[in-house]
Chain A
Amino acid sequence: MALPQSLRTSVTPLELELIASEQLVEIVPLITMEKTAFISGAYGPLRPPAKCRIPLWMATNLKLKKKCHIVPPEWLSVEFLQERLTRETSRPEFSKLPFRFAEIAKVILDVASDDVQNADKIKSLLKDLREARQAKSRDGLQKLDHSELSLPNLCSMEINEIRPFFIQSMGILTQLVREPSAE
């Protein structure tokens, strides 16, 4: 990492975004390209108007040059997110969402918001989801003990948020448990 030591408590969101960009996404290409070998694998061939699956970083690059249209994944739609939001607010446990949904959603909405239907509604739904889950993870931290912390269905950005805290606190709790007679 390029951060100074004092800030190196966890991975930065930008790095998470970079890792998430490796995931494959579907595009409708506007140019033709043969099957080309990249470091992470061989992708293509691109034959408009047939759809093709390429990594998100490549899709972003092509989209910025107006050479493709990104097809949003099926979880990035109003119905899906709305349904998850109602489930989130009605039950105490976390609902299942794609692991890196926050990063992928951000990238796609930044670059290709015209390819996504109802982009504004989706943005507001994502914000609501985040707030609901954040409240739950804050509550969940109260149940922190020295040996385990079980928060199923948490997503990568959320884990990253609380990681510095619970690593340190679990360490301290372990010390306290090991030496209860120190007081």
Chain B
Amino acid sequence: MVFLPPPHLASASRPAYAEAYANILVAHRRSPLTSASSVIILVAPDVDALCAAKILAELLKQDDVMHRIIPVSGLADLERMKDELVTYAELHTLILLNMGAILDLSSENWFGEFSMKLTVHIIDSNRPQNLANMFSGGENGERFIVWDDGEAENMGEERKAWEALTYEPEPDSDEDSELDDQDEVRSNEDGDPDDDEEFSEQGPSGKRRSLGDGDRSQEKRRKLDDQSTRLSREQRDTYHELIAKYYGSGSWYGQSASATMYILATVLERVDCDFLWLAILGLTFQYTTARISRDTYDKYHSIYYDEVFRLNPLPPDVAANTTDAITAMSPDDLSVRAAEELRFMLFRHWTLYDAMYHSSYVAGKLGIWKERGRKRLTGLLAKMGFSIPQTQQPYAHMDLDLKHQLRAKLDSIAPEYGLVELTYPSFARCFGYRASPLSAADAVEAVGALLDVAGGIRMEVEVEGARHGGEWFGGGRLWEGGRNGEEKREKRIEVGSRQKDGDDHADTDVNGEERKERTWWVKNFWAAYDALSDIVPLRDALSLAMSLHRAIIRQGTSIIDKQDIRTMRSHRVVVLSKGPDLALFAHPGVLARLGLWLVDALRDRLPGTKIGGLKGRGKKSLPFVVACLNERTQTYVVVGIMGALDFGDVRRNEFGLAFIEAKQRCNARSRHSTFDASVLEIEQDDLKLFLETLCEVGEGY
């Protein structure tokens, strides 16, 4: 497994993204069995992976490479997919987007058993990555290529430690080392890849995995062999500690997958506005879901800012950064512009009052869940010069001069209420005359809502004018994704067949439900994928996002009101077992959003707890565990979120490890249903025990 340095660190001897991509093309054109299943892209269900998939698909389409995109929801799904992929004879390239970094992909459980001509590319923003993926060389190793963002350069220590531990002989196989020396000499002469099988049957250490092409590691091994026959105990311990520290410090996120794809497109000199927009969406997704800190966001933002001005030159008479700049110049104007974004949720599509009410930042500072807080909000708006009817107007109908003054007024008056960081620089895209310009944050919200709840659950969506005695007063309408009609037909057929077969086909029932369960999120995935390129479904999805937010606020305020948050020694727990939106929150994505909202809302009101790292170096943070009952399967979905004390900062999420340990200790029946280790599905009866064990685990730090 090789890691690819990003292009700015590439050199002639270290191939970078462009060469890997060129190799994909070459493999595609040369293999005689090329079909649509030769290049398969497995995509995790989040917005960033979706954007990256879209960029990659477009690049491949421009190069006439046939490919398939397959969404994968979690580890179980990946295993199932792997079993299916083994049967594809013509598969020669596999690309994993936002998944697989932590797995040791060359082991037999995963892709170690696949044929030699398969190359696996891993483009993942999850960290930590499996060190075996990054550093092991050799011919078996070069099948797995990790596209790195430059962080691997700083991992020299971990690399040394890992290589030493993997390639050094164990202390109890001293006599093997002489034999191995001779074998090494022999194999150097042959250079035959069949040595793989020979050596794997050798000692239990399996250290000589293959001596194919890893020149550097070969030399290093010879050097280490020459210098000392084995590592001293202290060295071994330090190495173990280093690696444990790397894996044990929690999970964080690196460069987004869509940024990696965008860099590839830049290197191939094929960027255009669409790719830039998708890369921006990936970055904004990472920022709004608190995966990266404000500093990282600013760093990438400045890169994209320059790109925007390079690709979309503004006519000279329009100043940048004014509201005029974000109006479509012509019916075909599809350009991206830089704009300041307010932290209000979807504020260009809601009334101003609603936008401020539903944003977690404002909610936290003003205490929206109490009546007093709501009064403060209206007070703030009144101070800025907005009368109550004006704030209840949808943004599109608001007075023009109010819109212009909004930012200035906010800057001057909001600090009195403690709302300081209200804006952050971001981007907006014009869609010609088809729709009003859409900001990146709104687009991310819409796509995320589609991914989570486009199908499979009843969502009521508000019709404009349904409030305050408007023409549609009291009416809502059911969200209908384009595919809902087909779903209903499917359900009818299923019911019919079930009645025919009777009771002794309980298995098919379960399977049918499972299939339905699998297929609804696949449909969501494709709905979101289509919405990325078409503005009409994207705009419709905004109303879906709004009702999703409403549900989250409802639930969140009721939790805080009823003081449902139990404080354990090291973290806080919320368990949802009843409520109107229970089915909605059984989805891990929605539950995670609720958790983030709670963290944001309660940031100032709760003292942070010290979560120590491996040596008691602790940074204060706000750990939250949210659990929701899934009535249909009688399980609880548990999500762990590590909030930071300062807005715009992020902490490494240590809940993944904590969950795994607690699970092992109390033998709970549970499974990880997504790629995120901090999301767990656990049997109903085991929840209490699990939560208690989790507290003990927290103490162990």
Contacts and interface: CB of A to CB of B under 8 A. Distances in A.
A66 B272 contact: yes
B245 to A, nearest CB: 46
B272 A120 contact: no
Contacts of A113: 332
A66 B62 contact: yes
Contact of B332 (A65, A66, A67, A119): A119
Contacts of B332: 113, 119-120
A36 to B, nearest CB: 15
A66 B330 contact: no
Interface in B55-72: 61-64
Contacts, number: 14
Q: How large is the interface on B (under 10, 10 to 19, 20 to 34, 35 or more residues)?
A: under 10
Nearest to B330: A120
B331 A66 contact: no
A65 B62 contact: yes
Interface string A39-80: 000000000000000000000000011110000000000000
Interface in A111-130: 113, 119-120
A83 to B, nearest CB: 24
Interface in A64-116: 64-67, 113
A120 B62 contact: no
B29 interface: no
Nearest to B64: A65
A64 B63 CA distance: 11
A120 B61 CA distance: 29
B331 A120 contact: yes
Contacts of B331: 120
B458 interface: no
Contacts of A65: 61-64
A158 to B, nearest CB: 25
Interface in A14-29: none
Contacts of B63: 65
Contacts of A64: 62
A66 B64 CA distance: 12
A177 to B, nearest CB: 50
Contacts of B515: none
A65 B60 CA distance: 10
Nearest to A65: B62
Nearest to B272: A66
Contacts of A67: 62
B413 to A, nearest CB: 42
Interface string B257-300: 00000000000001010000000000000000000000000000
By CB atoms of chain B within 10 A, which of A65, A67, A119, A120 has the most? Answer: A65
By CB atoms of chain A within 10 A, which of B61, B330, B331, B332 has the most? Answer: B332
Contacts of B330: 120
Interface in B325-344: 330-332
A175 B63 CA distance: 59
Nearest to A119: B332
B249 to A, nearest CB: 43
A64 B272 CA distance: 12
A64 B274 CA distance: 13
A66 B332 CA distance: 18
Contacts of A66: 62, 270, 272
A114 to B, nearest CB: 9
Nearest to B331: A120
A54 B651 CA distance: 58
B329 to A, nearest CB: 10
A65 B268 CA distance: 13
Contacts of B64: 65
A119 B448 CA distance: 36
A67 B272 CA distance: 13
A119 B61 CA distance: 27
B607 to A, nearest CB: 55
B44 to A, nearest CB: 28
A113 B331 CA distance: 12
A67 B62 CA distance: 9
Contacts of A119: 332
B671 to A, nearest CB: 44
Nearest to A109: B332
B285 to A, nearest CB: 26
A64 B64 CA distance: 11
A120 B432 CA distance: 12
B421 to A, nearest CB: 39
A120 B328 CA distance: 14
A85 to B, nearest CB: 21
Nearest to B332: A113
A119 B333 CA distance: 12
A113 B332 CA distance: 9
Contacts of A120: 330-332
B282 to A, nearest CB: 21
A66 to B, nearest CB: 6
A69 B277 CA distance: 23
Nearest to A114: B332
Contacts of B272: 66
B65 to A, nearest CB: 11
A66 B270 CA distance: 8
Nearest to A120: B330
A30 to B, nearest CB: 9
Nearest to A67: B62
B64 to A, nearest CB: 8
A67 B64 CA distance: 12
A93 to B, nearest CB: 33
Contacts of B61: 65
Contacts of B62: 64-67
By CB atoms of chain B within 10 A, which of A66, A113, A119, A120 has the most? Answer: A66
B333 to A, nearest CB: 10
A15 B419 CA distance: 62
Interface string B33-62: 000000000000000000000000000011
A180 B330 CA distance: 59
A113 B63 CA distance: 22
A123 to B, nearest CB: 9
A105 B8 CA distance: 43
A69 B63 CA distance: 17
A119 B432 CA distance: 14
A80 B62 CA distance: 34
A66 B330 CA distance: 23
A65 B666 CA distance: 56
14 contacts: A64-B62, A65-B61, A65-B62, A65-B63, A65-B64, A66-B62, A66-B270, A66-B272, A67-B62, A113-B332, A119-B332, A120-B330, A120-B331, A120-B332
Top-4 shortest CB links A-B:
A65-B62, A120-B330, A66-B270, A66-B62
Interface of A: 64-67, 113, 119-120
Given A65-B64, A67-B62, A119-B332, 10 more contacts: A64-B62, A65-B61, A65-B63, A66-B62, A66-B270, A66-B272, A113-B332, A120-B330, A120-B331, A120-B332
